[in-house]
Structure 1
Amino acid sequence: MTALDIDAVKAFVTIVDHRSFTRAAEVLGTTQGAISVKLKRLEERLGLKLIERTPRLVRLSAQGAVFLDSARDLLAAHDRAIAGLSSVRRRFSLGIATHVAGPEIPTLLARLNAHDPALTIEVRLDNSRNLLDAFDRGDIDAAIIRREDDRRDGQVLAPEHFGWFATPTFVYREGEPLRLAALSPSCGVRDIATRALDAAGIAWTEVFLGGGSSVVADAVAAGLATAVFSCRLAPAGTMEVTERFGLPPLPSSEIVLLSTLSDAKSRQALRTLATAFREHRPPSV
């Protein structure tokens, strides 16, 4: 009887799920070379060619397609057996900045739950500055935030670009204070906006302050104000108005993942989260 290496089977299924040796290596926390070696050994053990690989394409062979369902069943049975050895659920608290969280977040959390059903995640939504303070105090275990100031720690997940957004009917006359909506006085994005306006000598007045990102988005969508948004998260029906109103360009930033988690399973869960974020994050406009 042929005995199969669970890690090799997991490598095969992960390659199939991500259609990439590189992404499979990221998810499994290993190297592309190690993934290739595991797949080769599995194929040799089975005497089958499971994956067809070209410089531009990774896909299942006909024999791989037949084996795939059995491979998933084997991994599921293995995971159930391991989970049955422990009745203790693990948990960690994750902070996600409100101006980072987009429609992809439920998908990310679902992916994380599928990766490790025994892991309970407590999610906290707040602005980046408050989450960074909470992370430094040890109140949360991990945070996905916009990079703050000159702080260089953390894993970079993606660049973040900002713009001035308003409705096509929003009226701004030169010489009048720009009507501005912002999340809160402690919001770093608000600081970026007001510093840029001050440096350009543009008068401004806040007509909406606080109330959460949905209130700010509603104010802008109603044509009552303009606001700075991530270019990927601007409210529907709005447009980028930097050139139209002669507003100052805004510096880009980075979205980073901070974590104090050190155990192997939690680190693996974070790698899964980071990979899923990159895959599901909508492109900037």
Structure 2
Amino acid sequence: MRMLDLEAVQAFVLTADLKSFTRAAEAMDSTQSAVSLKIKRLEDALGRRLLERTPRLVRLSQDGAAFLPAARDLVAAHEGALGSFGVERRRLSVGMSHHIVGAELPRLLRQMGRAEPTLTLEIRIASSWEIVEMLEGGVLDAAIVLRHDNRRTDGEVLMEEPFGWMAAPDFEHRAGEPVRLANQTETCRIRQMATTALDTAGIAWQEVFIGGGVATIGAAVAAGLAVAALSRRVAPAGTIDVGDALGLPPLPSRSVVLHSRVADPAAKKALRTFASTLRATGGR
């Protein structure tokens, strides 16, 4: 009877989910070569090719797609066996900037829950400066925010988040008129970034909509009311970057940074998976 290497099965599941050996290795606190070797040995043991590998893409083979549900069940059964005698649930509170949270949030939470099912997750969504305040005040265990200045230069840079001038495809701008903007309140750093870029370029603008969060800004953009400076991650589906068409100045990217006060190994594992999944959704 063949016995499968459980860590190899876990590596396969993560690589299939994240579509990247690199991201799977990050989630497992391992190396890309080690993860690749584990999966190669798993394929040899099964006598099946599970993943199709190209320089830019990792995808399931037909046999890999057939094996994946059983692989998930095996990993879940292992977690269940470990919890047979009762495991004390722990809480992990994570704050995220609302300029980072996009449509992939369910996928992020799914991966985080799979990484450590004994954790009770608490997610707070707010502006970056509010999230940092909560972290420094001991309210949060970890924070994933945009770095706007040198207030805090610590933390792990996860990726660079690009911003664009997002609008509905049918948005109309009349030549000679100020650019119509949808912004958040004056304390918003992205608002400051956008208006400074326009002022520096000598482009007139006017606020026609002020929202209380990225979701409301996105709604105004999708409705065709205005243009907004948004990351492509959070921009509503179907909206486009009209910066070039309207002659607007390019917007700088911002670093997405993870700050953590977590010491518990299980919570660290969950955060590693979360960060790796976020990187994967950023296309890096």
User: What TM bracket, shorter-length normalisation?
Assistant: 0.7 to 0.9
Shift of the alpha carbon at 1:204? 2.9
Deviations 1:169-218 (A, max 9, x none): 423442x4433221222211101011112222333332322322232223
Q: How does 1:48-67 map to 2 (within 5 A)?
A: 49=47, 56=54
Match of 1:253 in 2: 254
Match of 2:77 in 1: 77
Deviations 1:116-155 (A, max 9, x none): 2211111111112211222222221122222221343333
Q: How does 1:198-213 map to 2 (within 5 A)?
A: 198-213=199-214
Deviations 1:206-235 (A, max 9, x none): 232232223222323333332211134333
Match of 1:170 in 2: 172
Tell me which amino acid in the other structure corresponds to 2:28. Answer: L
Q: Which has the larger radius of gyration?
A: 1
Distance 2:241 2:61 in 1: 43
Distance 1:54 1:166 in 2: 37
Contact 2:167 2:226 in 1 (8 A): yes
Distance 2:14 2:269 in 1: 14
Does the residue aligned with 2:258 lie in a helix, a strand or coil?
strand
Q: How many residues align?
A: 279
Segments of 5+ residues of structure 2 without an aligned counterpart are none
Distance 1:268 1:260 in 2: 13
RMSD: 3.4
Distance 2:220 2:69 in 1: 50
In structure 2, the CA distance between the partners of 1:131 and 1:244, relative to structure 1 (3 Å rule), is same
Does the residue aligned with 1:121 lie in a helix, a strand or coil?
strand
In structure 2, the CA distance between the partners of 1:246 and 1:6, relative to structure 1 (3 Å rule), is closer
Tell me which amino acid in the other structure corresponds to 1:182. Answer: N
Tell me which amino acid in the other structure corresponds to 1:171. Answer: H
Distance 1:6 1:211 in 2: 47
In structure 2, the CA distance between the partners of 1:104 and 1:66, relative to structure 1 (3 Å rule), is closer
Contact 2:23 2:279 in 1 (8 A): no
Tell me which amino acid in the other structure corresponds to 2:85. Answer: L
Does the residue aligned with 2:153 lie in a helix, a strand or coil?
coil
TM-score of the superposed pair, with normalisation by structure 1? 0.79
Match of 2:101 in 1: 101
Match of 2:229 in 1: 228
In structure 2, the CA distance between the partners of 1:239 and 1:121, relative to structure 1 (3 Å rule), is same
Tell me which amino acid in the other structure corresponds to 1:149. Answer: D
Shift of the alpha carbon at 1:105? 0.4
Distance 1:77 1:232 in 2: 34
In structure 2, the CA distance between the partners of 1:169 and 1:273, relative to structure 1 (3 Å rule), is closer
Distance 1:144 1:241 in 2: 28
TM-score of the superposed pair, with normalisation by structure 2? 0.80
Segments of 5+ residues of structure 1 without an aligned counterpart are none
Contact 2:143 2:260 in 1 (8 A): yes
Match of 2:122 in 1: 122
Shift of the alpha carbon at 1:41? 7.3
Does the residue aligned with 1:111 lie in a helix, a strand or coil?
helix
Distance 1:106 1:65 in 2: 21
Tell me which amino acid in the other structure corresponds to 1:247. Answer: L
Shift of the alpha carbon at 1:13? 4.8
Shift of the alpha carbon at 1:59? 6.7
Does the residue aligned with 1:244 lie in a helix, a strand or coil?
helix
Distance 2:67 2:182 in 1: 55
Tell me which amino acid in the other structure corresponds to 1:78. Answer: H
Distance 2:218 2:236 in 1: 6
Distance 1:124 1:195 in 2: 29
Contact 2:171 2:225 in 1 (8 A): no
